Amino acid sequence: MNKISIFSAIATALIGYKIGDEIEWCAPAGMTKIKIEEILYQPEAAGDYNL
């Protein structure tokens, strides 16, 4: 399973996307396609607004 750190530049670019969305990203190795397959924890969706 591949994971993306919340501290990476791509994490900022992924804000607002949802499961099933696909984007293309220019990585150091070249253009890559990323598909969001799972979001482990989303505070707003869980009703946790005051963290």
In tens digits, what is the pLDDT along the chain, a chain of 51 residues?
577 787 888 888 888 898 999 999 888 889 989 899 988 887 877 888 887
For the chain, the structural domain boundaries read 19-51
Q: The whole model's pTM is what?
A: 0.62
Beta carbons within 8 Å of 23's beta carbon, 6+ residues apart: 13, 14, 17, 33, 34
pLDDT of residue 1: 57
